Amino acid sequence: MKVLNFGSLNIDYVYDVEHFVKKGETISSTDLKIFSGGKGLNQSIAFSKAGADICHAGLIGTDGAFLETILKEAGVDIEYVTKVENVRTGNAIIQNDSQGDNCILLYGGANQMITKEFVDEVFKGFEAGDWLVIQNEINENPYIVECAYQRGMKVVLNPSPMNEKIFDINLSHVDCFILNEGEAKVLVGTGSEEESLEKRLRKKFPHAKVVLTLGEKGSVYVDEKETVYQSAYKVNAVDTTAAGDTFTGYFVSGRLQGMTVKESLDLAAKASAITVTRKGAAPSIPWMEEVLQFNFEEE
């Protein structure tokens, strides 16, 4: 069984600011750091650091060659990472404020240059029983999901960043959703506010497993058989950039390695808690050994 993450690869330009810049305002940053990033890259690194065998597929410009090195150093298979000419690697301008929160402006670049021919070439290496992981920072996601479904692969969708393109995907082909409250509300649309989000998600996607992350309130998993709650871990957050990507990689890796839902949720909660104590996206993601040895205080 192989895992394919078909996702974005970014260069992150991270500015430290006292507060997020407002309309018409000019402010100075206290620092600028350049990191590897992109939800796809982050999740592939999280998968690998959690012990999973992960293949990454995606496009970079000639300015993004160092991203290949970073993926390889983390143990990610980069056979399907390809350089394209005449376009820059996708990038993100990230503001980190004094409270440890962030806001992000994305430029798609090479991430939006994926062709059906490239997708077809990638999927020649995968078969029934393999897994596909996707986010929402590349083009051709509907075709990618259809290819995976036709091959009998399992599909994990993290619909971030949430926008109308998500609804171009045949969501009935998704086996597992991993999403936050804002993304969940968009997916379920209008409905009874008396019902919890997880129940509304189950009603709309009864075929799928759902993991709903709730920030400081933890997370909850629901499927046709069980509902499992997980508390958050208390840490001093300095940068939340890759927390969700870390959670995704660690949760799915745990399940693929035979852990129970509860064990996988707990592992993902611990890993994402460590991530927010560090600056940067991919560099902040911990290795499994760190997660197992870290001294946590559960909220």
The three state secondary structure string of 160-214 is CCCCHHHHHCCHHHCCEEEEEHHHHHHHHCCCCCCCCHHHHHHHHCCCCEEEEEC
pLDDT mean over 272-289: 91
Q: What is the pLDDT of residues 156-191, one digit of tens each?
A: 999 999 999 999 999 999 999 999 999 999 999 876
- Which among 12, 77, 130, 245 is annotated as catalytic? 245
Q: What is the pLDDT of residues 138-152, one digit of tens each?
A: 999 999 999 999 999
**Residue 297, pLDDT score:** 61
**Residue 189, pLDDT score:** 86
For residue 215, list its beta bridge partners: none
Assigned token pair, 92: 């993100």
Q: Is 245 an active-site residue?
A: yes
Contact by Cβ (8 Å): 4, 85: no
**Residue 241, pLDDT score:** 81
Res. 296: pLDDT tops 80: no
pLDDT mean over 25-44: 94
Res. 101: pLDDT tops 90: no
pLDDT mean over 73-85: 97
Confidence band (pLDDT; 50, 70, 90) for 293? very high
Q: Which H or E run contains 134?
A: strand 131-134
pTM of the model: 0.91
**Residue 195, pLDDT score:** 82
Task: Identify the residue whose tokens are 């957050």.
Answer: 237
**Residue 299, pLDDT score:** 43
**Residue 128, pLDDT score:** 97
Burial zone of 218 (CB within 10 Å; 0-12 exposed, 13-18 middle, 19+ buried): middle
**Residue 68, pLDDT score:** 97
Res. 97: pLDDT tops 60: yes
**Residue 193, pLDDT score:** 67
Res. 261: pLDDT tops 90: yes
pLDDT mean over 17-35: 95
Task: Identify the residue whose tokens are 């871990």.
Answer: 233
Beta-carbon count within 10 A of 259 CB: 16
**Residue 191, pLDDT score:** 65
Q: What is the pLDDT of residues 203-260, one digit of tens each?
A: 999 999 999 999 889 999 999 999 999 999 989 888 888 999 999 999 999 999 999 9
Res. 192: pLDDT tops 70: no
Q: 3-class DSSP state for residue 104?
A: strand
pLDDT mean over 63-81: 97
pLDDT mean over 71-90: 96
In angstroms, the CA 3 to CA 220 distance is 24
**Residue 239, pLDDT score:** 82
Angstrom CA distances, 98 to 31, 36, 71, 137, stand at 12, 22, 30, 27
Confidence band (pLDDT; 50, 70, 90) for 104? confident
Assigned token pair, 210: 């759902």
